[in-house]
Structure 1
Amino acid sequence: MVLNLRRVYQPPSKEYNIIIRNHRDNVMAFCPPKDEEHINFDRWLDSSTKCTEINITNTYGRLAILQLEDDNWKLVVSGNIVEGRKAINNIGGSRDFDVRFTGDGHMLLQCWNGKNWGKGAGNVLDFTIVPFQASLESTQPMHKL
């Protein structure tokens, strides 16, 4: 199976510093806050130590690290997500997909060309990024008294 990560999108506010590394090909790309809408990446996923790693820091300094793997007909997402690791079984063959980050701390993986991820999986997979789930009040800068 081939999973090809095509693009990585900033949230609409463009508040993330995104660094993406593909350890299979030793390729890196980045997008600073308030810069481009997305990163053109176009790399295949691999498993284990050859995973694709995404590091995100928001403008308030919160950090999340995520790993994407193609592991024997499974898409594996691990890192700072709810439950720490999720394996999506029975991926339906080769898939091109984008990663889209939302302003409310979610990572969406969306297949190209209207394809579904697999039987019953739908076109979009949604992962909650734990460090970005804190209330807005706790991320606001502190004011001097």
Structure 2
Amino acid sequence: MSPQELAAKVGETIGTSEWVEVTQEKINQFADATGDHQFIHVNEEAAKMTPFGGTIAHGFLTLSLIPMLRAKSDCPRPDGVKMGVNYGGNKVRFLAPVRSGKRVRGHFKLLELVEKRPGQWQETMETTIEIEGEDKPALIAEWMSQFFV
């Protein structure tokens, strides 16, 4: 599909990802990578005593799953993309914790797609990360990225 054809889908939910498990190992690796070793993320015994009842993923870990969930989704892909980059977020809200061992998936609604320069497209996507079996999503983010054709 051309970028112009994709732009015609503005306002539509354009895809849903596969389910992905957020393991304790992934949480620990994120803690090591970021230096955020708060006990609610990495100390299973201490975290049991909190209202969460166990360890939870970092909010930024959940946010960082957006590109991977998008890649594992059925979202249409524009033809001829040479490269894509994250551009930033307009809004991010962490609504519910992702407990270790839970599965999440992304839902993607295209809010805007504009050509900034010839061959450089900027999209704004509303991404909702659902937690399997829970009423509230983990997060809702209005995320921007750019791709080059």
TM-score (norm 2): 0.30
Higher Cα Rg: structure 1 or 2? 2
Greater helix fraction, Structure 1 or Structure 2: 2
TM-score (norm 1): 0.31
